[in-house]
Amino acid sequence: MRIVDIREIAVPLNSSLRNSVYDFSEMTTSVVAVRTDVIRNGAPVIGYSFNSTGRYACGAQMRDRLIPRIFAAPPESLLTEDGSNLDPEKILARMMMREKPGGHSERSVPIGTIEVAIWDAVAKIHDEPLHSVLAKKYSAGRVLEQVPCYVGGGWYAPGKGIADLEAEIRMRLEEGYTTMKIKVGGAPLADDLGRIEAAIAVLGGGQQLAVDANAGFTPERAVEYAKALAPYGLRWFEEPTDPADFALMAQLTSFYPGAIGTAENLFSTQDIKNLLQFGGLRPGTDIIQIDVPQSYGIVQFSRTLDMLQRMGWSRQSIFPHGGNLMTLSLVAGFGLGGCEAYPGVFGVFAGFADDSKVVDGILTLSDRPGIGFEGQNKLYEVMKSMF
Amino acid sequence: MRIVDIREIAVPLNSSLRNSVYDFSEMTTSVVAVRTDVIRNGAPVIGYSFNSTGRYACGAQMRDRLIPRIFAAPPESLLTEDGSNLDPEKILARMMMREKPGGHSERSVPIGTIEVAIWDAVAKIHDEPLHSVLAKKYSAGRVLEQVPCYVGGGWYAPGKGIADLEAEIRMRLEEGYTTMKIKVGGAPLADDLGRIEAAIAVLGGGQQLAVDANAGFTPERAVEYAKALAPYGLRWFEEPTDPADFALMAQLTSFYPGAIGTAENLFSTQDIKNLLQFGGLRPGTDIIQIDVPQSYGIVQFSRTLDMLQRMGWSRQSIFPHGGNLMTLSLVAGFGLGGCEAYPGVFGVFAGFADDSKVVDGILTLSDRPGIGFEGQNKLYEVMKSMF
């Protein structure tokens, strides 16, 4: 058993979205395909992934050093003890050869993306959904069958007013979502509060609304917003600070009563640990939003979860970043708090299987082997074209 | 006045070195050349740089998005107010368009490398050494004419014993160095202490010796080494922790009496600020070793210095990472603590001008315009081949 080929392509998102800090007009993502010599259901097993959203394609690092390191290893050294499958932990260690400590994002994104594609192949070799494989390995076999899923939106757009926001939210409620996250910080505070009050009125309560500042505030504005948002009892307030401004985070958590969400822009276990130690995040209250394919992948995520558990955190406080099938597999397989959805944005990379449904805010799982990209037709068209 | 072309090439270091954590056998660096339409001394001004050492070449990020962003800007928008030169601050802001907050190393290295090449061009347009241009802008015109320079070495190699280390140190003393840094952590503690005692004996005192653990220790071993090293009164103890393990750093600084050096693997002002706030580093005692071309470049470095000053740190506590002419220009231009040298390693990227001298641990400055790569023949051969 061995990996026969690993390919990657960079695909533009072709998104016209913008939040309070940046737009996605140049954004690309790397799609990875890992072909093995294993035959399942009459075809060679190929694992797929992409590097989530918000970080640019990273194929050069893959081509120049990560993929060559994998192929320079004896194939049997990358297998499980009994030789029955690929071992993602060994492949991760192999990719980390000759890497200097610290400075993560340059390699954590390409390594994590390859690693998640390896897991897709691993699950397909088991002929099981990835969430089942992960549950057996990391969660005593318990799959979270009812995955809570909220929907992201409420982007800023020229001419978009309160009525448009209300219509957007109503559409999402009709689609089956019950909780929504909207952007803040791209308008003056008073305007944002108007948007928030309108959104709460449509959604039916502050606990149905989260807001996302995308790390775009000055410290002063972060404090100002936290004070102004406190009375609304929101589900959470996301990225009020620079991702690594732990001192400011500690200031906010000292007085903001509700949940704060962050961590999609921290890429190592150590950085997350610093966030908890120095940022004053509160187990049982705050929300951690690691992006797994951007943070060295699933094996490293399991280590981060171990660290979180030792620090008193429950898996229900983890809402992984990225509204896609990789995230859904992780939430169901590890029993995490829930999943985000970004239907219709980020091009072919947004969303779940074409036959997936959201009912009362709960997203359906599929039985497809692996991550299940084969059920997401437009994305799978891109993936299968790679071989 | 405008930038006409920006080119980059990836060059292997061809180094067989290894420290306690990793080897350099695959290491590459990106060389950047920025050609302008300005003529000085009968030739077009071209600014050069490379992305220091220890982080792989990063040309893809430059080609795919950073260089196109520069050329998509109206040329006059990248000039100083009076139009007399390029403005690195505006070019930095331009490269940062559409970048998500946090996750620095993926872009801080390519952005910093381009930015330093821009500064080389800026100084050449002034027809002055970069250290003079920096001193005028950032240091009230005061150039540090006497730059302290220590030498790095003491690498591990198969069969290399104490006698070889002693001979290596003697050679460096004969070359004019007075202070040396050697690796630790690649041998058992007792062996490392033997190496340290031998080195101190040759150098003449603990204050002439620094040691470098390259962030390779477990927390337990970091504490064990700090306790064992304390009596030797070393110049400094470098990277005893994971670059971002601020809690462990605070533990070490609570009892280790001497200087600790770190920060070459932190790439943003915010990360350095966290190191100071949470790592317990002591102004006047500890040493900060930012790698400027890997950390968004010189404009951002000046912002980091402002932050450091507000937190009570002197510029003399800064020893920038990288034994090369870029670092020398920074130390002399900003009046920093000193410079490192790695003669004969890291291929053509090690060292200073061919006519430079070290006398009693003081490195000579040159009068060449810009960074002065034109006086470092083997490296300049690579650079000038790019146009």
pLDDT band at A200 (very low <50, low <70, confident <90, very high): very high
- The answer to whether residue A258 neighbours chain B at the CB level (below 8 Å) is no
The predicted model gives A74-101 an average pLDDT of 97
**Domain residue spans of chain B:** 3-127, 137-376
Distance of CA A232 to the CA centre of its chain: 26
Half-sphere exposure of B265 (CA within 13 A, CB side): 25
Closest to A71 in 3D by CA, of A123, A114, A120, A109: A114
Does A101 contact B56 at a Cβ distance shorter than 8 Å?
Answer: no
What percent of chain A has a predicted confidence (pLDDT) above 70?
A: 100
- The answer to whether residue B310 neighbours chain A at the CB level (below 8 Å) is no
Interaxial angle between packed helices B246-253 and B269-279, expressed in degrees from 0 to 180 and rounded to the nearest 10: 40
- The answer to whether residue A180 neighbours chain B at the CB level (below 8 Å) is no
The rounded mean pLDDT for chain B is 96
Q: How many CB atoms lie within 10 A of CB A286?
A: 24
Using a CB-CB distance cutoff of 8 angstroms, which residues of chain A are in contact with residue B28? 64
Which chain A residue's Cα is nearest to B243? A102
Pinpoint the alpha helices (H) of B244-297: 246-253, 269-279
pLDDT recorded at residue B331: 98
pLDDT recorded at residue A20: 79
Question: Of A9, A21, A105, which to mutate for an interface test with B (greatest number of B Cβ within 10 Å)?
Answer: A105
Please tell me which of the candidates A64, A214, A274 has its beta carbon nearest to residue B246: A274
Class in CATH terms, A137-384: alpha beta
Does A216 contact B103 at a Cβ distance shorter than 8 Å?
Answer: no
pLDDT band at B14 (very low <50, low <70, confident <90, very high): confident
> Burial code of B185-196, b = ≥16 C-beta within 10 A, e = fewer?
bbeeeeebbebb
- What are the tokens at A197? 């009050």
Residue A56, min C-alpha distance to chain B (Å): 9
Does A64 contact B55 at a Cβ distance shorter than 8 Å?
Answer: no
pLDDT exceeds 80 at position B16: no
For the stretch B231-254, pLDDT in tens is 999 999 999 999 999 999 999 999
Which chain B residue's Cα is nearest to A266? B103
- On whether the CB atoms of residues B355 and B375 are closer than 8 A, the answer is yes
SS3 assignment, position B66: helix
Which residues of B form the catalytic set?
183, 321
pLDDT exceeds 90 at position A14: no
DSSP count for chain B of H helices, then E strands: 13, 12
Closest to B147 in 3D by CA, of B289, B342, B356: B356
Is the confidence metric ipTM above 0.90 for this complex? yes
Q: How far apart, in whole angstroms, are the C-alpha atoms of residue A90 and residue A3?
A: 13
- Could you give the C-alpha distances from B291 to B284, B320, B352, in angstroms and in order? 20, 6, 17
CATH superfamily, with its number, for domain A3-127: Enolase-like, N-terminal domain (3.30.390.10)
pLDDT exceeds 90 at position A172: yes
Does A57 contact B65 at a Cβ distance shorter than 8 Å?
Answer: no
pLDDT exceeds 90 at position A23: no
Q: How many CB atoms lie within 10 A of CB B158?
A: 5
Catalytic-role residue among A183, A227, A273, A357: A183
Kind of pairing, strands A339-341 and A287-288?
Answer: unpaired
Comparing A3-127 with A137-384, is the CATH topology the same?
Answer: no
- The answer to whether residue B20 neighbours chain A at the CB level (below 8 Å) is no
Per DSSP, B201 falls in state H
Q: How far apart, in whole angstroms, are the C-alpha atoms of residue B174 and residue A294?
A: 49
CA angle B202, B204, B205 (to 5 degrees): 120
pLDDT recorded at residue A344: 81
Residue A39, min C-alpha distance to chain B (Å): 34
The predicted model gives A305-309 an average pLDDT of 98
- Chain A to chain B, count of Cβ pairs less than 8 Å apart? 137
Pinpoint the alpha helices (H) of chain B: 59-61, 67-72, 88-95, 105-126, 130-138, 162-175, 189-203, 219-229, 246-253, 269-279, 298-310, 325-334, 377-384
Does B64 contact A55 at a Cβ distance shorter than 8 Å?
Answer: no
Catalytic-role residue among A321, A357, A378, A384: A321
- The answer to whether residue A23 neighbours chain B at the CB level (below 8 Å) is yes
Using a CB-CB distance cutoff of 8 angstroms, which residues of chain A are in contact with residue B273? 247
Which chain A residue's Cα is nearest to B262? A102
Q: Indicate the pTM of the whole model.
A: 0.97
Residue A60, min C-alpha distance to chain B (Å): 6
- The answer to whether residue A265 neighbours chain B at the CB level (below 8 Å) is yes
Decide if A321 is catalytic. Answer: yes
Edge-to-edge strand ranges of the sheet holding B3-12: B3-12, B28-40, B43-50
Architecture of domain B137-376: Alpha-Beta Barrel (3.20)
Question: What is the SS3 assignment for A183-215?
Answer: ECCCCCHHHHHHHHHHHHHHHCCHHHEEEECCC
- What are the tokens at B270? 């915010």
Does A216 contact B247 at a Cβ distance shorter than 8 Å?
Answer: no
Q: How many CB atoms lie within 10 A of CB A206?
A: 18
pLDDT band at A352 (very low <50, low <70, confident <90, very high): very high
Please tell me which of the candidates B101, B215, B278 has its beta carbon nearest to residue A101: B215
Q: Which residues is B86 bridged to in the sheet?
A: B79
- Could you give the C-alpha distances from A67 to A111, A147, A219, A371, in angstroms and in order? 9, 34, 41, 21
- Could you give the C-alpha distances from A238 to A252, A335, A344, B311, in angstroms and in order? 12, 21, 21, 29
Q: How far apart, in whole angstroms, are the C-alpha atoms of residue B51 and residue B292?
A: 9
Using a CB-CB distance cutoff of 8 angstroms, which residues of chain B are in contact with residue A97? 22
